[in-house]
Amino acid sequence: MTLIKQQISEKQYNELDYPILFDDNKFDRAFGIIDNGKYQWKYGWQSISLKPFIENLEAETYLIGIDRDFIIVDLSSNIIKLKLRLNYFFYGAKQTDKLIFVISELEVIKIVKTNFEIIQSYELPDFFQDMKIMDEHCKITYSGGGSIIIPNY
> Hey, is 144 helix, strand or coil?
helix
Is 88 buried (19+), middle (13-18) or exposed (0-12) by CB count in 10 A? middle
Q: Could you tell me the pTM of the whole model?
A: 0.92
Q: What values do phi and psi take at 81, rounded to 5?
A: -80, -35
DSSP-assigned states of every residue in 81-95: EEEEE-SS-EEEEEE
H or E stretch including 47?
none
Asked whether 43 and 22 are in contact (CB, 8 A), the reply is yes
Of the CA atoms within 13 Å of residue 104, those in its CB half-sphere come to 22
Asked whether 127 and 143 are in contact (CB, 8 A), the reply is yes
Listed residue (147, 112, 99, 106) closest to 128, CA to CA: 106
pLDDT tens sequence across 58-116: 988 999 999 999 999 998 898 999 999 999 999 999 999 999 999 999 999 999 999 99
pLDDT tens sequence across 15-59: 999 999 998 878 899 999 999 989 999 999 998 888 999 999 998
